[in-house]
Structure 1
Amino acid sequence: MACRISELVLGCREPEVLARFWCEVLDFVVLDREEDGSVEIGPREGFGGAQPTLLLSPEAEPHPGLPRLHIDVSATDRDQAAELERLLALGARPADIGQTGEESWHVLADPEGNVFCLLRARIEEL
């Protein structure tokens, strides 16, 4: 195994409202709040556990052509650079969705153009 789904990212108007809702639905807790207003929720054991976390990201309006939900993956058996090479060899391609270039993750598109991110964090295989 080389990757696991580590986060599901949902663009939304009111991250705090959705965090409260999904915490109740899934019996999750708030794991982190970012300066940009994003709220990450997940199981009590936190990021990298058996279940992916849910990152609720503030977004006033949906971006044309981009889904409001995308997958973040984390390598399990190699570093981010090696995993990026592997994903590109499999047919992923870099995607520009307006990132600054300072991000710690890589934005990629699968062969059909679906956007996903490769995070820097490495998590254990299950």
Structure 2
Amino acid sequence: MSAGVRHDVAMVNIGAIVLNVSDRHRASGFWSKALGYQPTPENPDFLVDPAGKGARLHLDETDRTHLDLWAEPGQQQAEVERLLALGATKPDWVYPEDADFVVLADPDGNLFCVIGD
């Protein structure tokens, strides 16, 4: 455990739910109507609530379904350490050079990402 890391205070929130789909366009039509979400102008695979509530829905044909937890600026490493102390594990993962995420697994083996820095 690192000094100064509080294990009882979350510094992350669910920024996106990554949903594995077989057809992004069909899924976008369904989820847009089901949730009232709209595709973002910069990436139509991200759907957001126009009122700014709730997490983004990221539709992906290649990635598995998982949560993206967004860390506060400058807090990614502290949050990773906090989650590891709570029982998360760090699976073997091949990261791209410019990765802004850390892959962890919950105690049941469900993968999730901590996004930040």
Distance 1:95 1:101 in 2: 18
Report whether the alignment pairs 1:6 with 2:15. yes
* TM norm structure 1: 0.72
Provide the aligned C-alpha RMSD in A: 2.4
| Structure 1 unaligned blocks of 5 or more | 63-67, 122-126
Q: CA deviation at 1:78?
A: 6.2
Contact 2:69 2:112 survives alignment (8 Å) = yes
Which amino acid counterpart does residue 108 of structure 1 have in structure 2?
Answer: L
Say which one has the larger Rg. Answer: 2
| Structure 2 unaligned blocks of 5 or more | 1-8
* Cα 1:98/1:15, change in 2 over 3 Å: farther
* Cα 1:10/1:88, change in 2 over 3 Å: same
Correspondent of 2:69 among 66, 73, 84:
73
Distance 1:15 1:5 in 2: 21
Contact 2:72 2:116 survives alignment (8 Å) = no
Runs of 4 or more above 2 Å deviation: 75-78, 95-102
Q: What's the secondary structure of 1:96's corresponding residue? A: coil
* TM norm structure 2: 0.77
Which amino acid counterpart does residue 70 of structure 1 have in structure 2?
Answer: H
* Cα 1:119/1:20, change in 2 over 3 Å: same
Q: Give aligned-pair identity as a percent.
A: 33
Q: How many residues align?
A: 107
Corresponding residue for residue 92 of structure 1: 88
Distance 2:26 2:91 in 1: 30
